[in-house]
Amino acid sequence: MSEAALAISEDDPVLETDFAKEMVRQMRAVDTYGTYDNWPVERILEPFVLTKEKKREIPVIGDPDEITMSRVKALYNAISAMIEKECGQMAVPMINLTHEGFGRALITVGKLVVMDRTLRDVHRFGFPTLSKMKDEADKLLSVAVEIVGQHPKVAGM
């Protein structure tokens, strides 16, 4: 993949956010062979951006590969890390996916479930733009932090 073919520009303001930095951290954490070590940030986050054209190229029926599943895990790990940073308590993501790409993602803080998402068509996992991915993560983060604030005793257990 050439640098010119990237859908994310290197001067995208989203790349400077805490969310983007955490996503890069999580993607590098799952990179056991060090492939991403010398890659620019926009190239690491590129697979999360799936335009309508790219989605059309992916068959409707298909099983997600391990790389796609690791991207799903990286997203929810990043959101968990940000929840932890906001509320100061450990947030734990739990993802259960079938081989067909259906499942559920949960994030718990203590005994409190702060996020619950149904996952469908994981083989087509992605967002139209990097900004949309950040908006979705910010929405999940704010709801989770609000739930922790409403139930601090359960979250603190």
22-62 pLDDT per residue, tens: 999 999 998 888 889 899 999 999 999 998 888 888 887 77
Distance CA(46)–CA(128), nearest Å, equals 11
Q: How many domains does the chain have?
A: 1
Q: What is the pLDDT of residue 4?
A: 45
Among residues of the chain, what percentage have pLDDT more than 90? 65
pLDDT at 13 > cutoff 90: no
Residue 1 belongs to a domain: no
User: In percent, how much of the chain has pLDDT > 70?
Assistant: 96
Q: Which domain holds residue 151?
A: 11-155
Note the pLDDT of residue 157: 63
Is residue 42 included in any domain, yes or no? yes
Note the pTM of the prediction, 2 decimals.
0.90
Per-residue pLDDT tens over the stretch 119-143? 998 988 999 999 999 999 999 999 9
Phi, psi of 91 (to 5 degrees): -110, 130
For residue 54, is it within any domain? yes
126, part of any domain: yes
Tokens representing 84? 């932890």
- Per-residue confidence (pLDDT) for residue 39, from 0 to 100: 92
Q: What is the distance between the alpha carbons of residues 49 and 55, in angstroms, rounded to a whole number?
A: 10
CA distance 123 to 56: 12
In a domain, 6, yes or no: no
Give the span between the Cα atoms of 15 and 8, in whole angstroms. Answer: 9
Domain presence at residue 58: yes
Query: Between β-strands 103-109 and 91-97, what pairing exists: parallel, antiparallel or unpaired?
Result: antiparallel
Residue 5 included in any domain: no
Query: Is residue 131 in some structural domain?
Result: yes
Find the CATH number of the domain harbouring 30.
1.10.3100.20
